[in-house]
Amino acid sequence: MDTEPRSNFLRTQIQSDLDAGIVDRVVTRFPPEPNGFLHIGHAKSITVNFGLAEQYGGVCNLRFDDTNPEKESQVFIDAIQADVKWLGYQWDGEVRYASSYFQQFYDWALHLIDEGKAYVCDLSADEARDYRGTLTSPGKNSPYRDRSIAENHALFAGMKAGEFADGSRVLRAKIDMASPNINLRDPTLYRIRSVVHHQTGDHWVIYPTYDFAHGQEDAIEGISHSICTLEFEDHKPLYDWFIDNLPVPSRPRQYEFARLNVNYTVTSKRKLKLLVDSRVVSGWDDPRMPTIAGMRRRGYTPAALRHFCEEIGTSRSDGVVDVAMLESAVRNDLNVTAPRAMAVLNPLKLQLTNLDAPEVLMVANHPADESQGKREVHLGPEVWIDRDDFRQEANKKFKRLVLGKRVRLRGGYVIEAEHCDVDANGEVTKVYASIVPQTLGEDPDDGVKAKGVIHWVDVITGVTAEVRSYDRLFNVEDPSKSESMDDVINPASLVVGEAIVEASLVLAAPEDRFQFEREGYYVADRFDHAPDQPVFNKVIGLRDTWSNND
């Protein structure tokens, strides 16, 4: 399912930089904040950054921008590393952290103070907001803007020493309060936060802002192309201002591309966290979540996600991608790679009246790929078929089992329905059928062809498994517009039931994927599946059932 890299403006830019000798090696980075699980939008960023480095023979760093320890956790750090590896990428060298550079950031902050380009400000958050101005009106200078270099040094040292209360003072760059770009109106460089950091412990009580740390991290690591999403475009002049005004060891360049927006999906970490905290979902890795961990547990494949990210392209134009494209990529990948198996979700017992002894059939694991081999499937006098596959009478359009008509058991014999048992409510409780002789792998000798093929599971060897049928979490295209997410949750996003599965499936390893014949694609749950308690998650149906509902 590999896709040849498509040309896009980032590849054009990198090639131009290499041809012009501006850079001699491509070094990119993926810099997540460890304050939540990665989602589908991050998958796009991962494929862009790692993919570009790979294409041009360069390297990509994994760096955690851990400048806000109040919302960060080692759990998120571990999950992010697992996600990147699962997608098939390997970062260069050791995992990197912004916190590893805290001393260097502090020294560079002192450099800006020495140059008269940074000052300690005592305005409260509300006052600072008032002083900042608006998009249409300029800001005004802080009354603390003209403090002396010596006073700023002393106050900043006091901030570092923990002498002041949280939020009482910040260090700001001295740029231009009248700038039309609000990001240049004396942005905050450091704030006081008496919080224990997951990497540095209690060594620091002041932490740099992301804007101050971002470009300098890139410069320290020798990043050639700092690739961000478009929301950082307005921050680019500030990024460049820091690079121009600090003695950094290299000059990275920032380029922006449009973030990935998918319908029927939310990717706001705040809203995803709300879904977790309110227990709408079971956790960050719930298979209905658009997180990479959730999609992995759902049974999506790394190849399908990479293919999807490549297919939608990389541009500077914002837009919304139909989630059906992602689902189609998953379906197409599994159609080729997933072995077939049989499971009956709505069982009805069928007795084979002329099968004298159980038989063992050899059934192909994939109809179009002989390399996937064959498996043993037991056939006894009684089998389970799907209730929807039988009718006492039906028109010619019904291609399944009807009294007096024939169908083929998948991988087995042609059978002919003879009669059925019906309870007092008119419900069919059992079907009786006979095997048409000499039809194992052959058409009937009498020329009466089977009307169709149905799946089945042997009653004696079949195993009961839990089946979790997942669907889209939201039932509207843009759930972010809803005031309450409760109003747009799809009530059928998870239906838990049972199925009777063929015996071979209990030996499936967690994350093994299968096409349950005529039902859809399923995966052995990553955590809950076991031979004595099989659990399968529905990955995706055999066809798009939403297209007619949109």
Choice among 259, 387, 399, 430 that is catalytic: 259
Q: What is the pLDDT of residue 389?
A: 97
Choice among 117, 269, 349, 399 that is catalytic: 269
Residue 548 clears pLDDT 60, i.e. is over it: no
pLDDT in tens, 71-84: 999 999 999 999 99
* Residue from 78, 73, 75 nearest 62 by CA: 78
Q: What is the pLDDT of residue 17?
A: 95
Q: Name the least confident of 182-186, 225-229, 396-400.
A: 396-400
Distance, CA of 467 to CA of 453 (rounded, Å): 23
For the chain, give the number of residues: 550
CATH number assigned to the domain with residue range 9-257, chosen from the 4 options 3.40.50.620, 3.40.50.150, 3.40.50.2000, 3.40.50.1100: 3.40.50.620
pLDDT in tens, 454-506: 999 999 999 999 999 999 999 999 998 888 888 999 999 999 999 999 999 99
Determine which helix (DSSP H) or strand (DSSP E) holds 242, and give its type and residue range.
helix 236-245
Q: What is the pLDDT of residue 392?
A: 95
Is residue 396 among the annotated active site residues? Answer: no
Could you report how far apart the first and last alpha carbons of the chain are, in Å?
28
Q: What is the pLDDT of residue 224?
A: 98
Residue 63 clears pLDDT 60, i.e. is over it: yes
What percent of the chain has pLDDT above 90?
Answer: 93
| pLDDT (average), residues 245-271 | 95
pLDDT in tens, 15-36: 999 999 999 999 999 999 999 9
Quick one: pLDDT band at residue 550, thresholds 50, 70, 90? very low
Q: CATH homologous superfamily of domain 341-458?
A: Ribosomal Protein L25; Chain P (2.40.240.10)
Q: What is the pLDDT of residue 1?
A: 53
Question: What count of other Cβ atoms lies within 10 Å of the Cβ of residue 403?
Answer: 17
What percent of the chain has pLDDT above 70?
Answer: 98
Measured CA to CA in angstroms, residue 300 lies from 41, 74, 263, 331, 419 at distances of: 15, 25, 18, 9, 42
Is residue 498 among the annotated active site residues? Answer: no
pLDDT in tens, 357-379: 999 999 999 999 999 999 999 99
Average pLDDT over the chain, rounded to an integer: 95
Q: pTM for this structure?
A: 0.94
What are the structural domain ranges in the chain? 9-257, 341-458, 463-540
Domains 9-257 and 341-458 belong to one CATH topology:
no
Q: Do 121 and 143 touch, CB atoms closer than 8 A?
A: no
**Side-chain half-sphere CA neighbours of 411 within 13 A:** 24
Question: What count of other Cβ atoms lies within 10 Å of the Cβ of residue 81?
Answer: 16
Q: What is the pLDDT of residue 445?
A: 80
Q: Do 455 and 342 touch, CB atoms closer than 8 A?
A: yes
pLDDT in tens, 272-295: 999 999 999 999 999 999 999 999
Residue 432 clears pLDDT 70, i.e. is over it: yes
CATH number assigned to the domain with residue range 463-540, chosen from the 4 options 2.40.50.180, 2.40.50.140, 1.10.10.10, 2.40.240.10: 2.40.240.10
Quick one: pLDDT band at residue 3, thresholds 50, 70, 90? low
**Which phi and psi (to 5°) does residue 254 adopt?**
-95, 135
Q: Do 389 and 419 touch, CB atoms closer than 8 A?
A: no
Choice among 33, 233, 382, 477 that is catalytic: 33
Is residue 33 among the annotated active site residues? Answer: yes
Q: Which residues of 171-182 are buried (b: 16+ CB within 10 A; e: fewer)?
A: bbbbbebebeee
